[in-house]
Amino acid sequence: MLHRAHSLCDEEEGQKDEEVKLLSHAFISSGYNPKEVDRIIDSYVFDKPDNNTQAENRTDTLCIPYVRRKNVIYKIPCATCDFLYVGETSHWFDERESQHKRSMRNCDSNNGIYMHIANHPDHTIAWEKTTFLDYDRNFYARRMKESFYIDIF
Tell me the mean pLDDT in the region 15-25. 78
**Alpha carbons 38 and 18: distance in angstroms, whole number:** 14
pLDDT at position 8: 66
**Alpha carbons 55 and 63: distance in angstroms, whole number:** 11
Fold classified for 62-152: GIY-YIG endonuclease (3.40.1440)
Tell me the mean pLDDT in the region 127-145. 92
pLDDT tens, 76-94? Answer: 999 999 999 999 999 999 9
Residue ranges of domains in the chain: 2-43, 62-152
What is the average pLDDT value for the chain, to the nearest integer?
Answer: 81
pTM for the model stands at: 0.61
Helix, strand, coil % (nearest 5) of the chain?
A: 50, 15, 40
pLDDT at position 47: 45
